[in-house]
Amino acid sequence: MSNINDIAKQFTEYYYQAFDADRRNLAPLYRDMSMMTWESSQIQGAQAIVEKLVSLPFQKVQHKITTVDAQQSLPGVNAILILVTGQLLVDEETNPQQFSQTFQLVENEGFFIYNDVFRLNYS
């Protein structure tokens, strides 16, 4: 397996650049078996996940990543667990919101997002 930290860094840079530019571009990262929890809402399947992301109630978003931690996971499968923390600004807001997001990437003709859990961190 390639260095999981390098894969995690490349993945998170790509994911958040694509998210911030046009959330529809995230579709190839998910599969029909992919699962997402966005706050308390659970969604399954690439099409439903992208529909959820596109329907979020903001036009502009900018992510600033603080940390990216990665571990190899799932014995016998090339899979990576990634925990991301950071800040995001939406629309014209000037006070960033803290967030955390966890991804489980599984390799199958390239890596795809099998699990995705997003949560705003309220203080």
CATH (domain of 42)? 3.10.450.50
Q: What percent of the chain has pLDDT over 90?
A: 85
Give the model's pLDDT for residue 1.
Answer: 45
pLDDT band at 114 (very low <50, low <70, confident <90, very high): very high
Task: Provide the residue range defining the domain that includes 24.
Answer: 4-121
Res. 2: pLDDT tops 70 = no
The mean pLDDT value of the chain amounts to 94
What average pLDDT does the segment 53-69 reach? 94
The candidate with the shortest Cα–Cα distance to 101, out of 65, 48, 77, 62, is 65
Domain count, the chain: 1
pTM over 0.85: yes
Residues contacting 109, CB < 8 A, separation 6+: none
